[in-house]
Structures are given as C-alpha cells and as structure tokens.
Amino acid sequence: MKITDLKCAVIGSTPVVRIVTDEGISGYGQIEASKPYLKPHVLFYKEYILGEDPTNVERVMMKIRRMGAFKPWGSAVSAIEFALWDIAGKAAGVPVYKLLGGKVRDKVRVYNGSIRFPMTEYTPEAYAADVARMKASPQGFTIVKEGIGFHGAMATAIPDFYYGEINQAARYANRGMLTERGLKHIVACVEAMKDVLGDEIGLALDLGPGFTVPDAIRLAKLLEPYNLMWLEDMITGDYTPYVLADLYREVRNHTSTPIHTGEQIYLRQNFRELIETQAVNIVGPDPADVGGIAELKWIAEYADLHGVLMAPHGVLDGLIGLAALVQVSATLPQNYIAFEYPSANPAWWSDIVDGLPDPIVKDGFIEVWDRPGLGIELNPDRASKYLPVGDEDFFD
C-alpha cells in the first residue's frame, strides 16, 4: 500500500486531513476548530509522505515529526498521524486500539470539555449556577472543569483583580500578581461551586497561564480543603512555547492540591523534565497538538513510571479527534483519569459523521467501539455541501 495523496479541507472552521492510498483506503484526521489557518501547514508535509506505506506509521512520522512545534504548530503533524492510524486499522480490519497494544478498559471516563454554558458574569453565584447546569447535563459527567482566574474573562472583568496592565491581545496574554481581592474572589467562587457539587462530582480548574509562582502557591494552599481534582496551566499553558518545569516543581512542592499542565506541549521530549522531576502531578497532552495518539501513549506510559497521572486535553478536537481519544485512552495505563470531551462543532458535524453511538456519553463514560480504524467515517454525500470553494474534490 502506498500514499497517493494528502488533502486538507476546512469544513466549518475545522481543517480536516484525508490521506488517500492506492488500495482505495482513506484515513482521516482533524485539527482543532480554532485553527482554520493551518491548511497550508498540512499541505507542506505532502511531498514528504507521498509514496510511503501508511501502515508503517512510525516510519512516516519520522519524516515529518521534527518539523512541528508547540501549539498550534504541531497540529498538522498530529492530524496526519490520526489519518495514518485510521488507514492502518482499516487495512488490518481492527480498531486502532488493537494496534496500540489492546484495551486496558472497555469504557473511558470523560469530563465536560466542550460542553459549556455562556457566562456573562464571574461572581460566585454565576459559577454556582454554571456547575449546577453541568451537574444536570444528560452526559452525567463525574468530573467538571471550569475556567477561572486568567483562563477566560475573569481577570479583565473583575475590577482590581491583579496588578498589571490589561492586555486585550488574544491567546491568554495577561499575566501578573494577584491583588488580595483577586485571590479571595477565586476562593469564593470555588467555595460556591463545591457547595453545589459536593463530593458527588470532582471539580477541576483551568486557571491560566498568567500566575506568578508566589500566587500559584498561595492559591493552591488556600484551595487544599476543597479537594480539587487539579489546578491547570497556572504558570504556562495555551500557546506558551515553553514548559518552565522548574517553576511548576516549585508550586507542586508547596501544596497537596494536584498541579496539571501540558496541553500546549509538542512531543515526548518536551515532557521529559516535567515527568522525570515530578514537577506536576498530572500531565494533559492534547493528541491533536502533541504529535498524535502514539505520542500521547508513550508519554502516559513514561509518566506512569514516575507516579505522574494522565488527563488528556481535547476540548476542540472535534468528532474525529474524539474517536482518536477514545481509541488511545482505552489503551493507557492505570494512571489515566479522564479526557476532555470534544463534541460536534458546529452541531451539523454530527450529521456528516457515521459510526458514533447515540448518546455518545453515558454516566460520564464512553463505551469503546470496535469498528476498524478510528471507527468513524465522514459521509461524502452529506459532508460535500460544507466543502469550501476550491476543495470540491476532497472526497474524489
């Protein structure tokens, strides 16, 4: 089997990768819906993979892996890797999890991720109402993650939240020392959420990036009585092209509240210091940014050797990304907690993908399906009407 073409079309706002072979088998990958600009980056790799056997996934990846980078520039490589595994599974007639070593679990736990409700206020009462809606959601999540602090609008919406100039640039540009008011406000919001969730549903917080080390330590210690699942990306995180493991280790060593990071990191090499020095309690690579699902599995196994837990990111990975997350999460070691649930974005994506269960999530879990490859297919007849001008031949 040989690769004869690499295609990419932006369907909705999502770059979708299709790898075509000379045996009539195609594989699909998907980039986050927030990155429609990455189509040219996908096509950059075309000349490197044409003529290769797609079932030799690692051989193909060795040709392109070194030419990616931290979020968002690892996404193209990651989506290509999804598509290669999809082909390999279809060619062998088995689900991808069989090629990754087989199932450790028959169902995978997920947390709310893309299931969000609009918030216009950032008061304790607003957060309490939001997690109440989460608690009542039909998916039955057993873990809920909320954006707070510098992750979202709180830092700019709450007066005198931190010392520093407000930066209106996108991609989490604000950073600075919290005021006492800001610190107390976060704690009050957490207390309000825990009053609703109790010990029935775990609460995780996505906080940054943007915290200074002293504030991260103070906040983590103040939140210890609330038994949170984790505090995520306090120092670095979304679109930060470096790790700063030494600073995370300083925070982790001063608190019993679990510390989490990793969604922006590309490749196993850039997790090495975090894991080997136990700088965090939990790592959260995103398969659509880290280099793919085999890369994520390697990181999970190495983390497990060092007592570090695994909670993969995936909020905007879409339905193909969801399928990839289900397949790899079924194979991860017992340090696996849950992955961040991506859903159809826009909603009509549910109409153009075949093979997903209905409902997808039951009581906070997804049953691992057994169809070959990633186990889902784009339906050309229904998807074609969403193809942009110039990509009408995507399914040819």
| Neighbouring residues of 92: CB distance < 8 A, sequence distance ≥ 6 | 55, 98, 99, 372
Q: Are residues 118 and 50 in the same domain?
A: no
Please give the C-alpha separations between residue 239 and each of 172, 242, 291, in angstroms, as whole numbers. Answer: 8, 9, 15
Structure tokens at 274: 């975090």
Q: CA angle, corner 335, sides to 102 and 269, nearest 5?
A: 85
* Bridge partner list, 20: 5, 26
User: Does some domain include residue 393?
Assistant: no
Eight-class DSSP state of 76: H
Task: With beta carbons less than 8 A apart as the criterion, state whether 6 and 70 touch.
Answer: no
Which domain does 51 fall in, by range?
3-93+379-386
| Greatest extent of the chain over all pairs of C-alpha atoms, in Å | 64
Burial class (CB in 10 A: 0-12, 13-18, 19+), 103: middle
**pLDDT means per 10 residues in the chain (396 residues)?**
98 97 98 97 98 98 98 98 99 98 98 95 98 98 98 93 86 92 98 98 97 98 98 97 98 98 98 98 98 98 98 98 98 98 96 97 98 98 97 96
Is residue 85 domain-shared with residue 116, that is, in the same domain? Answer: no
Give 348: exposed, middle or buried? Use CB within 10 Å, 0-12, 13-18, 19+: middle
How high is the pLDDT of residue 119? Answer: 93
How far is residue 260's CA from residue 248's CA, in Å, rounded to a whole number?
Answer: 9
Q: What is the pLDDT of residue 165?
A: 86
**Is residue 394 included in any domain, yes or no?**
no
Q: List the one residue out of 374, 328, 361, 355 whose CA is nearest residue 105.
A: 328
Residues 87 and 139 in one domain: no
Query: In 10 A of CB 256, how many CB atoms?
Result: 11
Confidence at residue 190, expressed as pLDDT on a 0 to 100 scale: 98
Same domain, 105 and 11: no
- Dist CA 372 CA 383 (whole Å): 21
- We report the CATH number of the domain holding residue 10 as 3.30.390.10
* C-alpha dist (Å) from residue 179 to 184, 211, 218, 259: 9, 12, 12, 22
pLDDT at 173: 86
Q: Alpha carbon 292 to chain centroid distance?
A: 11
In terms of domains, do 240 and 351 share one? Answer: yes
Residue 211: per-residue pLDDT: 97
DSSP code, position 357: -
- Looking at residue 315, its pLDDT comes to 97
Contacts of 180 (CB under 8 A, 6+ apart): none
CB atoms within 10 A of CB 163: 11
Residue 379: predicted pLDDT? 97
Does 261 lie in the same domain as 231? yes
Do 128 and 38 reside in the same domain of the chain? no
Helix or strand or coil: residue 85?
helix
The answer to whether 280 and 260 have CB atoms below 8 angstroms apart is: yes
In degrees rounded to 5, what are phi and psi of residue 353?
Answer: -115, 130
Q: How far apart are the first and last CA of the chain?
A: 18
278 and 164 both lie in a single domain: yes
Residue 280: predicted pLDDT: 98
Please give the pLDDT value at position 168.
76
What was the pLDDT predicted at 166?
Answer: 86
Task: Give yes or no: residues 134 and 79 share one domain.
Answer: no
Q: How many domains does the chain contain in total? A: 2
Same domain, 76 and 103: no
Q: Which pLDDT belongs to residue 381?
A: 97
Distance CA 195, CA 96 (A): 41
Nearest to 82 by CA among 3, 2, 16, 37: 16
Cα(13)–Cα(24) distance, integer angstroms: 27
Asked if the structure places residue 396 within a domain, the reply is no
